[in-house]
Structure 1
Amino acid sequence: MFDRNVQAAVRVDANGLISFMRDIASAHAKEDLTFLCIGTDRSTGDCLGPWVGTLLEERGFSRVIGTLREPCDADKLPGIVPKLADMGTIIAVDACLGRPENVGAYLVRQGPLVPAQSVNGGFGAIGAYSIAAVVNATSLKPYWTLQSTSLYSVMAMAKEIADAIVVQWQA
């Protein structure tokens, strides 16, 4: 059944991220949120989620799943998903590949994202809210594309996401 409250993803920049997080903060206390930061520390493009998780932990956020120390990757995600029902409102954060003109932008929405979609991961949708960072352009070799993505760009995008979150819920 179609959920009328789920919005289509909207392309935003860093200022749009702040606005998106402000809307979430107006509806949810920090204590009610869990940040699910999806990805691996073994791929430059796909380390965005764990990098965001690490930055949030360093800034005092305790309800974070997925950090550089303990990534929430394709191996661990199936074991984590059943536990999410008891973890409040989930904000899912993941890297993605997209159109060349969208690289460096964020796709945000009230509604879930599908992890590992660009590499045909086969996971279900996760999150009440989602942020997908377009770290590189879609290609015929998505694993290679993620592996060869600029670490500097990914780190900058992760910082923008973490900053947008922290400014709303001062840790």
Structure 2
Amino acid sequence: MGNRAKARRGRAEDPVNRQRVSIEGVEAFLRKAAAVQPDRDQVAFLCIGTDCSTGDSFGPLVGTLLKQSGWGRVVGTLDDPCDADRYESLKSAIPESLLTIAIDACLGSKEEEPGYIVGEGPLFPGHAVGKRLSPAGHYSIAGIVGPKSVKPYWTIQHASLHEVLGMARALASAVQAAWSQPEVEAMRLKA
């Protein structure tokens, strides 16, 4: 079997249980991650994408907002994106001991309400546009920035900046809220 067939087969057999959720579902998902690792200093965010494409800027926008909110371990911002060319080296620089949350844009069914795909397990970046990058993250969040189409590059390039920015702001706020809840603060102080 050729490498392309193996890659497609491996992708189809994704062991991660993924769910499409609203921002409220993302908040619940992040509360679970915060309960597993309440110490913010032991959490890293791998925010994948580029500032050169509207839809693909979702990850770097989230990364920028997290950095501005005081998170210290953020890889991938508008100033310093984690794009396909730099992905492998930036990913490998994150210590394995950190709980890593991978964030990227994706294409999917577009509905009125912004949607996200979450999973306890790695994210496969670039899948929407046919890239085959190695998986990343203990937890993964993908923002649905446009509908699946026969022209994925065009779709991701022409996503609404207003919607992408709104989704990024909502996700960054959800991260802040998850690690600010009283139970997590209490666990962090006990450690």
Q: What TM-score results when the alignment is normalised by the length of structure 1?
A: 0.91
In structure 2, the residue matched to 1:3 is: none
Q: State the distance in 1 between where 2:114 and 2:97 align.
A: 30
| 1:32 corresponds to | 42
1:25 maps to a residue whose letter is: A
Q: Which runs of 4+ in 1 moved over 4 A?
A: none
Contact 1:34 1:87 in 2 (8 A): no
Matching residue within 21, 24, 29 for 1:15: 24
**Number of equivalenced pairs:** 165
> Is 1:79–2:89 an aligned residue pair?
yes
**SS of aligned partner of 2:145:** strand
Task: Give SS of 1:62's match.
Answer: coil
Distance 1:45 1:157, change over 3 A: same
1:125 aligned residue (135, 141, 144) = 135
Provide the secondary structure at the position in 2 that maps to 1:160: helix
Q: How far apart, in 1, do the equivalents of 2:96 and 2:16 lie? A: 24
Identity across matched positions, percent = 43
Highest Rg: 1 or 2?
Answer: 2
Q: Which runs of 5+ in 1 are unaligned?
A: 1-5
Cα contact 1:104–1:136 (8 A) shared by 2: no
1:49 corresponding residue in structure 2: 59
Letter in 1 for 2:87: L
Partner of 1:65: 75
Q: Runs of 5+ in structure 2 lacking a partner?
A: 1-14, 181-191
The two structures have a TM-score, normalised by structure 2, of: 0.82
2:123 aligned with 1:113, yes or no? yes
Looking at structure 1, the residues matched to 144 and 103 of structure 2 have their Cα atoms a distance apart, in angstroms, of 11
CA distance in 2, matches of 1:108, 1:37: 14
